[in-house]
C-alpha cells in the first residue's frame, strides 16, 4: 500500500468497510487477480480517484468552454417557452455550468468503472495463463512426486519455478498458507481453490484434496491429470488452428478480394460519372481497409492461447 492509497483509506476507509456485501464480486475479483491491495483500500482509492479525475476534467473542460464560448454555438430553432427567453442572455454561463457538471459525471463515472472492472479483467488474464501453463506444471508436479518428494514440498518447488507463469503463483499461495499461516495441506488447497480464477486449477486442487483425504495415491492422481490435460491441450490447439484457418480465409475473401472488387467498381463508376471526388472510394481505402484489418488483428489476438 503506497502513500496515495494510505491517504485514500484514511479518508474513506471507515465508510468502505460497511460495503463488503455490496461489492462481493469486486472482492472475489481482487482475490482472483491476486492483488495485494485490501478491499477497503482499493475501494477507497477508486472513489477518491473518481472524484479527483472528475473535478479536474470538469474544471478544464468548463474553463475551455468559457474561454472559447462554446455554448453560444448551440442554437435551438423552434418554439421556446417564454420563461426560458429571459435566460437567453445568460446562455454562456448556464451552458458552461451544464458542460462542467456533465464532464464531472462522465469522467468521474468512467474512472470509477475502470477501477471496478480492472480486477475482473486481470483475473481473466490470469485464468487464461493458468489454463495454458497448467498441463506443463502438472507434468513437473508428477515428476517431483514420483521422485518421492512430499506433496507440500512439491507445491513449494512449483512455486519457486517462474517458468510456469501464474500456475507457479497459485502454488506459492499454497506454500504461503502452509509456511506462514501454519495450515495443513488440505486447508491450503481448499483456500487457494476457492479463490483461483481458473476452473481447471480449481478442479485439479479439489481432486488433490479428495485424493489426500481418502488416502489415495497422490502420484497416480497427478499422473492421470497430466495425461488428461495434455490431451485437452492438444485438442484445444487443434481447434485454434482450425479456427485460424477459417479466419484467414475470411480475411482473404473480405479484406483482399472484397475491397479490391469495390475499389475497381467504384473507380469505374467515378470515371463514367465524371466524379472528381469519389468519397466512397476514399472511405474504402482510408477507413474500411485499416479498420477491418485492425479488427481481424484484435480478434486473432484475443483468441490466441497464452504461450
- Sign of CA pseudo-dihedral 48, 49, 55, 59: positive
- The confidence score (pLDDT) of residue 86 equals 54
Contacts of 3 (CB under 8 A, 6+ apart): none
- The confidence score (pLDDT) of residue 107 equals 93
C-alpha cell at 176: 504461503
Contacts of 76 (CB under 8 A, 6+ apart): none
Domain positions in the chain: 3-124, 127-230, 235-303
The answer to whether the beta carbons of residues 145 and 158 sit under 8 Å apart is no
CA 280 from centre of chain: 36
- The confidence score (pLDDT) of residue 105 equals 92
The residues of the chain scoring below 50 in pLDDT are none
- The confidence score (pLDDT) of residue 46 equals 92
**For residue 284, what is the DSSP state?**
I
HSE on the CB side for 42, CA within 13 Å?
23
The answer to whether the beta carbons of residues 103 and 58 sit under 8 Å apart is yes
- The confidence score (pLDDT) of residue 276 equals 75
Span 165-215, pLDDT tens digits:
899 999 999 999 998 888 888 999 999 999 999 998 999 999 999 988 888
- The confidence score (pLDDT) of residue 82 equals 53
The answer to whether the beta carbons of residues 184 and 194 sit under 8 Å apart is no
Per-residue three-class SS string for 108-127: HHHHHHHHHHHHHHHHHHHH
Burial code (b: 16+ CB inside 10 Å, e: under 16) for 258-277 equals bbeebbeebeeebeeeeeee
- Single pTM value for the model: 0.74
- Report the C-alpha gap between 46 and 152 in whole angstroms: 38
Span 68-82, pLDDT tens digits:
776 666 665 555 555
- The confidence score (pLDDT) of residue 182 equals 87
- Report the C-alpha gap between 300 and 221 in whole angstroms: 35
The answer to whether the beta carbons of residues 20 and 32 sit under 8 Å apart is no
Nearest to 247 by CA among 285, 303, 195, 200: 303
- The confidence score (pLDDT) of residue 75 equals 61
Amino acid at each position: 500500500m503506497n502513500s496515495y492509497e494510505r491517504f485514500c483509506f484514511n479518508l474513506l476507509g471507515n465508510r468502505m468497510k460497511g460495503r463488503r456485501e455490496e461489492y462481493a464480486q469486486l472482492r472475489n475479483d481482487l482475490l482472483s487477480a491476486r492483488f495485494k491491495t485490501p478491499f477497503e483500500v482499493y475501494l477507497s482509492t477508486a472513489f477518491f480517484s473518481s472524484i479527483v479525475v472528475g473535478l479536474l476534467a470538469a474544471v478544464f473542460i468548463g474553463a475551455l468552454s468559457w474561454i472559447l464560448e462554446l455554448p453560444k454555438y448551440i442554437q435551438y430553432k423552434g418554439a421556446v417557452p417564454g420563461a426560458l427567453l429571459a435566460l437567453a442572455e445568460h446562455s454562456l454561463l448556464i451552458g458552461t455550468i451544464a458542460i462542467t457538471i456533465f464532464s464531472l459525471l462522465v469522467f468521474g463515472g468512467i474512472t470509477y468503472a475502470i477501477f471496478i472492472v480492472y480486477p475482473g479483467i486481470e483475473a481473466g488474464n490470469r485464468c487464461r495463463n493458468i489454463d495454458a501453463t497448467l498441463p506443463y506444471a502438472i507434468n513437473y508436479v508428477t515428476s517431483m512426486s514420483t521422485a518421492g518428494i512430499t506433496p507440500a514440498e512439491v507445491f513449494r518447488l512449483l512455486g519457486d519455478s517462474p517458468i510456469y507463469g501464474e500456475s507457479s503463483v497459485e502454488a506459492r499461495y499454497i506454500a504461503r498458507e502452509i509456511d506462514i499461516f501454519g495450515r495443513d495441506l488440505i486447508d491450503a488447497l481448499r483456500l487457494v481453490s476457492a479463490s483461483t480464477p481458473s476452473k481447471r486449477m480449481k478442479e485439479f486442487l479439489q481432486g488433490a484434496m479428495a485424493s489426500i483425504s481418502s488416502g489415495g495415491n497422490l502420484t497416480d492422481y497427478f499422473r492421470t491429470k497430466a495425461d488428461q490435460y495434455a490431451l485437452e491441450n492438444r485438442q484445444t490447439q487443434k481447434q485454434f488452428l482450425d479456427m485460424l484457418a477459417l479466419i484467414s480465409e475470411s480475411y482473404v475473401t473480405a479484406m483482399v478480394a472484397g475491397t479490391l472488387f469495390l475499389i475497381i467498381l467504384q473507380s469505374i463508376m467515378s470515371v463514367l460519372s465524371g466524379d472528381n471526388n469519389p468519397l466512397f472510394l476514399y472511405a474504402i481505402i482510408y477507413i474500411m481497409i485499416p479498420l477491418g484489418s485492425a479488427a481481424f488483428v484484435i480478434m486473432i489476438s484475443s483468441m490466441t492461447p497464452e504461450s
